[in-house]
Each structure stands twice: as structure tokens, then as C-alpha cells.
Amino acid sequence: MSDNALLSSSNELTGTGLKRRRKIWSCQECRRRKLQCDRTLPVCSRCIRAGKPENCIYIDDVDMAAVARAVPTDLQHGTLHGRFNPGGPMVVPTEDVVASYTLKNLVQRVEQLEAAQPHEPMVAEQTSNSSIPAPTPGSAITGTGSGRNGRETTMFLGTAFRTKFSGSTHSGLLIGRIPGFPEFMTESFERFPAMNLARKQIHKLENLTNLAEENPQGIRERQLRALLPPKQESDQLVQVFIDSFDCVYHVLHLPNFRIEYDRLWIDTADGNQQFVVVIVLIISVSLCLVSDPVPYPACHRAATMIRSCEQWLKINFLKYSRVQDFQISFLLLLARQLNARRYKQTWANSGQVLRNFMCAGLHRDPDNLEEEVSELDKEMRRRIWAAASEFELQASFEQGMPAMPWPEQSDILAPRNIPDDGLDHIADPRPVQEFTPSSYLAVSSSSILLRHMLNAHLNNLRSEISFDETKAFTERIETSLEDLPSWTDPRSETCRALLSINLRQYLLSLHERQIRQAASSAERRFSKIILLDTAVKMVNSHKALLDNGHNTLKLFCGDHIRAALSICYTYLTLDPQSDSIITCAAEKYGTQAIAAAAAMVKQKSIHLGGDQRHLWPAIAANIFMKLKSNPDKRSDLMREAADEYVSILNQIKCGLQELLKTSAETRSKFNDNTLQERGFPVIRVDEQVLVVPPSLEEWSFEDWNFEDYNKHFTGSLEF
């Protein structure tokens, strides 16, 4: 070879020549065989058909001298795609070429990583005792799958500012953890459009029903008093509240309450408006509990009362200087909960109420006050605080959020187990085995710190709970369950059931989490046994209350769906061979319990007329349990679930349509009476209300001055 040829070859390899090589589009094997290549990564189709995928190597458009001299490490960083053939000839590279090519490759690699994660911030160095990395915006845990890096999952959905978040103990997260269940629910809506159509019709009727009762001018004091039913009906509804929820959240002092209540009907003047609001809220709670074959009118009346109280509170701010102010704040939370109003804001609203109570010092024991406080006021402060903190903790658990950290500043004592008649003087509390209206608050206060701590652990994304800690928490909860008193008073059935349910729901979340984090099959089997047993016991507690005619917890609690999904999750994650005993128990007791839970959720949805949060998951979980033993009947079972869901929505739709019609007729009569009271004759022509002004002969000279124009003609006339 001549010197010119050697010089040309050297210039071409070192990149100093003027001639640029053509880009190689095909892989090395197709180029050698002179065939067209489709450049499919990691192996083209021709190499796959030829059975030689190891020969499929792509060469990027880079300096061929660097490619020829590159070491395998450089080739694996992106220069060659596919497998590198170490059997090829090795050319010893020069130091300058290798350094230049490696630097260029590193720059390209850094640019690719920065483009893949443009918003990843720098994380501060962790301390030596930190087992979990610090939070970063890029490390948010979303969705309902398994947590990344051992963290717990949350529900973070939406776009831009239309988002919603639910923490680890939210019952909806169980849906995504049941194998195949989300696909079953989604596929049902896709295959049966009638489900979504019925749901949209319900929402439209709900909006029309709410719009029909809007009062943009607010509620005046006399109008609020006019919401009270006649005295006989009011007496019955107030007694319903005393027999039901006053035994749970005992925030009333019954002797003083009855005196004020009797005075309310004797003195028709406005008087104590705060007490009127208390009565209206009590009646709105009781309307949900009355046994009515057509529950929609009663629930609609309750919703109207709640909305009126909310509008009244916008004008009359609570100063938290009287006991009625605190009672109004708590009773409004309770009424909203029972009527499924603003349920998405329950955690935020209950936290705001608790903050207001803390600003008033309700979390501190009144014995620390310098001024003398009566025994009645001391005990009422303890009761109201115990009720509000209990409600807020339950709302935090259901939303998957941390509760207010009030234990760090609180030194208040638990309410005493003493009847209201003994509060006027210093009296010794009754034994815990003797039931009084304040027994629930007294007993629940003994475990509230344990439940508060468990809620903080379970809803902390960076908190790890080991198996030993899970067993320790389980033993403490079981001890608290064993310490619950065995009351014989008929009024105590609801209280005892609620005390046990509030403790057992933490067992569900604790062991559902442990199943996913268990390091061995023995630990996983232990948690599945407790999960199934606890869920069945919770459903049986609800069922026993319903069999005895107690409907309080059916409307108040939302743990039916948690128990149902826990049973479904346990059953569908069992191995019939290794977990044969648990499988038999789940098939025998679990199927009955989940059917009962679904029935209670359906009754609650029909009763409230619009609360459908848990309706479809409960129906779908009950049907989905049958798929494990009948996988070939998937289409039939899916149709069965869809038909059941649409049937219940049609019942709700018929009730709302009748309610809307009745509301329109009542509203028309109210407008007629209002116009006639103001001196305007009413004439109906084709169902249109015509207002006839007074006769001109009745007008005096002062009337023609139009000084009272606003009084006569600018009232809130609604047609």
C-alpha cells in the first residue's frame, strides 16, 4: 500500500479527513447480508427469524475511529445497541480519542437523565439513624398499588388544581389492592352504559332538589324558628335524639335542656336564638332515624334545616362564650354526617371545630382556671371536648389523614360516669359497669390516646411498622376490647357496639398493611386470620343492632364497606392449598358477612336518597367474591352486579322525582301564603301566579310619595 493510501486511511479514522461517512441505517448482520433492516430495538425481525439475535448490533452515527477503538464499557453506554460481540478484533485506542469519546458520551448521558426527571430536586443528606429517605416532590406515592421503596400508598387523583387526596387508612385504597377488582368495576361500567346513565340522572335530580331550596337572602331569626315542626312532632323528634345519639355524644345537660325547651314553646318571642338553632339541628338528626316507608321527605326536611342553620351562621357568628355555641358547632357536624352533606369536607370541618375549641381552652382541664367554675360547667366542658375529639379522630381515620395533635397540650380529664342529676353538686362517679348517658364518652376516653397514636402511625408515609410492633398493637387493642363493660341497659347496645367497632377498625388497617409487608408466609397467614375474623365480627355487630331495631350506626358509621372489602381482599389473596383452613372459614363466614354488609350499604343508600359513595364497591365486592369459584361465569356475574346497581339507583331516582314534585307544590303554596300576608291578592291563570296591586282608591297621598316603595314592591317574591 502506498504512503498516500496510508495517510488517507489514517485521516479517515482520526476524523481529520474532509470526507464524511454515510450514516449506517441497518444492523451489522443485515448490512453484511445486504438485506433491508427494519431497525427494531433491541433486535430486528430478520435476526430474530434467522435465530441469531446476538449478531444484531446497531452502530450510531459517531466517529468510526472511536467506535473501532472503543472498549466494551463505552459500547454498553449507548454506542452499540444489542449484544457486544467480544470475539471481534480489538484495536488498542489512543489516549486522546478515548478521552474525547468518553467525555462526549457522559455529556449525552447526563442530558438524557436530566430530560427524564426535569423537576427532581436535590435532597439533603440523611442522618445516620434515618431509615427512610426525606420526602421530595418527585417521590410522591400515588395510585393504589404497592408502595415504592417500602412506603405506604395513597390516593392522589385529578389534574391541575382539581385534585383530591386520601391517605393510607381510607377504605377506597382497598379497592386497588384486591387482585382484578378495579378491572371488574371499570369493565362493568363500560359494558353496561345504563349504570353511568342512571348515576348521572341521580346527580341531576340532586342538584335540582338542592336548587329548589336555596335561599340567597339568608335566613332571618323568625324564619329559622318557623322551621320547627308543631310541638307534638317536635317533642317526639327530640325524644328520638335523646334515646339514640345523646347516649353516644352526650353534649346536653338534660335538666337544663328541658327547662329551656319548655320555655321555647311558652314564650313565642325570639329569645335565645342559639337554643333555637340547637333544637333545629337536633330535629334534623332525628329525622334521619324515624321509621318512614318513604324516607326521602324526612331526609329532605333535614337537609333543608341544615342548610338554613348554615346560612344563619354566616350572619350570626359564634363567639364561643356560651355552652350553646359549642353545642351548635358539634351538632352541625353530626347532622351533616348523618345526612351525607359535605362528607368530603368532614375531616377539614371537624378539624376546624376542634381548633376553635382549643382556642377557647376546651382541651385544658377547667380545674386550672383561676376563676371559680361550677361543677356543671366543668363536666359539660369535658363532655363537649370528648365528643368533638372523638368525632375528629374518626373523621381523620376515614379520610386517611393525621388527627389534630391535641394530646401534646391537653391535660383535661375524661368525663365522669355520672348522670345529669348529679352535676349540680360534687358527687362520686358511678362504676363503669353501670350505664349512664355519659358512659360512652367516659369509656372511649380510656383508649383515645392509643387510637390517636395508631392513626398517626398508619397515615405516616415514612413510618415503618414491624411485625413485632403489629403484634404489640394487636394485644393492646384486644386488651381494650376485653375491658369494655358488659352493660345490660337496652340503651347501651349501640354504645357497646360502637366502642368495639372503633377499636376493631384499626385492626383491619393494621393487618391489611402487614399482609403486604410480611417477610414470611407465617406472618402473612397470621394477619389474614385476624383480618377475616375482625371484619366478620364488625359486620355481625351491625347486624345484631339492626335485628334489634337500632338504626343509629347504620347511618352514622362508614365501616361497612371497609369490612366488606377486607373480607374480599383476604379471600381473593388466599392460596386454597396452603391456606385451606382460612379458605374454608372465608367461604363459610366471609360470604355471609359480605352479603350482609352489602345489604346494609344498599339500605343506607336508599334511605338517604343520594349517598352513593359505597354503593357500587359494596355490590361489586359481593359479586366478585363468587368469581373465584366460578371464573367461567364472569359475564353473568357482571350483569347481575350491574342490574342490582341500576335497580337501586332507579328506586332512588323515583324517590327524588316524587320529592321534587312535592317540594314544588309546597313551595307554590308557601309563596301564595306569603303574598297574601303582604296584602297582595293572588290570581292563578294557567298555573301562573299573578300579583294584583292594591286598588288605587285605597292609596293615600303618602303612598304616592313612594317612600315605602321598597317595603311594598321589592320583597322576595318567588314564583
Query: In terms of pLDDT, which residue wins out, 194 or 607?
Result: 194
Among the residues of 360-491, which ranges form H helices?
375-399, 439-444, 448-458, 467-482
Q: How far is CA 33 from CA 29, 30, 67, 558, in A?
A: 6, 5, 21, 70
Residue 4 in contact with residue 11, Cβ under 8 Å? no
Q: Is the pLDDT of residue 194 over 90?
A: yes
Closest CA to 510 of 451, 568, 556, 557: 451
Q: What average pLDDT does range 274-295 have in this prediction?
A: 83
Confidence band (pLDDT; 50, 70, 90) for 592? very high
Confidence band (pLDDT; 50, 70, 90) for 657? confident
Q: Which helix (DSSP H) or strand (DSSP E) does residue 685 occupy?
A: strand 682-685
Residue 308 in contact with residue 227, Cβ under 8 Å? yes
Confidence band (pLDDT; 50, 70, 90) for 405? very high
Residue 537, C-alpha cell as written in the block: 365480627
Handedness of CA 162, 604, 196, 212 (dihedral sign): negative
Query: What is the structure's pLDDT at 58?
Result: 72
Query: In terms of pLDDT, which residue wins out, 289 or 41?
Result: 289
Query: What is the structure's pLDDT at 479?
Result: 95
Query: What is the structure's pLDDT at 591?
Result: 93
Confidence band (pLDDT; 50, 70, 90) for 17? very low
Structure letter (DSSP) for residue 164: E
**Rounded Cα–Cα distance for residues 427 and 421 (Å):** 10
Confidence band (pLDDT; 50, 70, 90) for 515? very high
Query: What is the structure's pLDDT at 295?
Result: 59
Least confidently predicted of 370-374, 615-619, 620-624, 670-674: 670-674
Give residues with Cβ within 8 angstroms of 519, minimum separation 6. Answer: 467
Coil vs helix vs strand at 704 = helix
Cβ burial of 121 (10 Å; 0-12, 13-18, 19+) is exposed
Q: Which residue matches cell numbers 444484531?
A: 56
Closest CA to 605 of 662, 558, 565: 558
Least confidently predicted of 3-17, 64-78, 156-170, 550-564: 64-78
Q: Which helix (DSSP H) or strand (DSSP E) does residue 163 occupy?
A: strand 162-166
Longest dimension (CA), the chain: 130
Give residues with Cβ within 8 angstroms of 672, minimum separation 6. Answer: 682, 689
| Number of CB atoms found within 10 A of residue 602's CB | 21
Q: Which residue matches cell numbers 364561643?
A: 320
Query: What is the structure's pLDDT at 314?
Result: 87
pTM of the model: 0.73
Could you report how far apart the first and last alpha carbons of the chain are, in Å? 107
Query: What is the structure's pLDDT at 158?
Result: 86
Q: What average pLDDT does range 281-296 have in this prediction?
A: 77
Query: In terms of pLDDT, which residue wins out, 69 or 276?
Result: 276
**Rounded Cα–Cα distance for residues 662 and 120 (Å):** 58
Residue 461's Cα: distance from chain center in Å? 17
Q: Is the pLDDT of residue 616 over 70?
A: yes
In this predicted model, what pLDDT tens digit does every residue of 525-544 receive, in sequence order? Answer: 999 999 999 999 999 999 99
Give percent of the chain with pLDDT exceeding 70. 71
Handedness of CA 35, 38, 42, 43 (dihedral sign): negative
Confidence band (pLDDT; 50, 70, 90) for 474? very high
Residue 178 in contact with residue 485, Cβ under 8 Å? no
Q: Is the pLDDT of residue 674 over 80?
A: no
Q: Is the pLDDT of residue 137 over 50?
A: no
Q: Is the pLDDT of residue 514 over 70?
A: yes
- DSSP lists the bridge partners of residue 156 as 165
Report the mean per-residue pLDDT for the chain: 77
Query: What is the structure's pLDDT at 211?
Result: 62
In this predicted model, what pLDDT tens digit does every residue of 443-470 receive, in sequence order? Answer: 999 999 999 999 999 999 888 899 999 9
User: For residue 42, is the peptide bond before it cis, meaning its omega torsion is within 30 degrees of 0?
Assistant: yes
- DSSP lists the bridge partners of residue 690 as 683
Domain boundaries, the chain: 21-115
Residue 132, C-alpha cell as written in the block: 427512610
Q: Is the pLDDT of residue 334 over 90?
A: yes
Q: Is the pLDDT of residue 472 over 70?
A: yes
Residue 65 in contact with residue 14, Cβ under 8 Å? yes
Query: What is the structure's pLDDT at 660?
Result: 76
Q: What amino acid occupies position 26?
A: S
- DSSP lists the bridge partners of residue 155 as 166
**Rounded Cα–Cα distance for residues 153 and 148 (Å):** 8
Q: Is the pLDDT of residue 691 over 60?
A: no
**Rounded Cα–Cα distance for residues 104 and 556 (Å):** 66
Q: What average pLDDT does range 12-35 have in this prediction?
A: 67
**Rounded Cα–Cα distance for residues 719 and 717 (Å):** 7
**Rounded Cα–Cα distance for residues 573 and 602 (Å):** 26
Query: What is the structure's pLDDT at 665?
Result: 57
**Rounded Cα–Cα distance for residues 91 and 81 (Å):** 20
Query: What is the structure's pLDDT at 100?
Result: 46
Q: What average pLDDT does range 349-354 have in this prediction?
A: 95
Query: What is the structure's pLDDT at 629?
Result: 86
Q: What amino acid occupies position 38?
A: D
Residue 682, C-alpha cell as written in the block: 293572588
**Rounded Cα–Cα distance for residues 147 and 141 (Å):** 7
Confidence band (pLDDT; 50, 70, 90) for 391? very high
**Rounded Cα–Cα distance for residues 237 and 232 (Å):** 9
Query: What is the structure's pLDDT at 157?
Result: 85
Query: What is the structure's pLDDT at 11?
Result: 47
Across 641-717, the runs of DSSP E, i.e. the strands, are 682-685, 688-691
Across 57-109, the runs of DSSP E, i.e. the strands, are 57-59, 80-82
Q: Is the pLDDT of residue 217 over 60?
A: no
Cβ burial of 50 (10 Å; 0-12, 13-18, 19+) is middle
Confidence band (pLDDT; 50, 70, 90) for 19? low
Query: What is the structure's pLDDT at 77?
Result: 38
Q: Is the pLDDT of residue 678 over 70?
A: no
Confidence band (pLDDT; 50, 70, 90) for 372? confident
Query: What is the structure's pLDDT at 268?
Result: 67
Residue 23, C-alpha cell as written in the block: 450514516
Residue 386 in contact with residue 445, Cβ under 8 Å? yes
User: For residue 229, is the peptide bond before it cis, meaning its omega torsion is within 30 degrees of 0?
Assistant: no
Query: What is the structure's pLDDT at 452?
Result: 96
Q: Is the pLDDT of residue 264 over 70?
A: yes
Residue 129's Cα: distance from chain center in Å? 34
Residue 101, C-alpha cell as written in the block: 469519546
In this predicted model, what pLDDT tens digit does every residue of 565-574 receive, in sequence order? Answer: 999 999 999 9
What angle separates helix 467-482 from helix 448-458, to the nearest 10 degrees? 150
Coil vs helix vs strand at 159 = strand
Query: In terms of pLDDT, which residue wins out, 554 or 664?
Result: 554
Among the residues of 459-520, which ranges form H helices?
467-482, 492-517
Q: What average pLDDT does range 127-140 have in this prediction?
A: 40
In this predicted model, what pLDDT tens digit does every residue of 300-324 receive, in sequence order? Answer: 788 889 988 998 888 888 888 899 9
Highest mean pLDDT among 24-38, 172-186, 415-429: 172-186
Residue 573, C-alpha cell as written in the block: 389473596
Residue 295 in contact with residue 325, Cβ under 8 Å? no
Q: What average pLDDT does range 199-214 have in this prediction?
A: 74
Q: What amino acid occupies position 37?
A: C
**Rounded Cα–Cα distance for residues 377 and 388 (Å):** 16
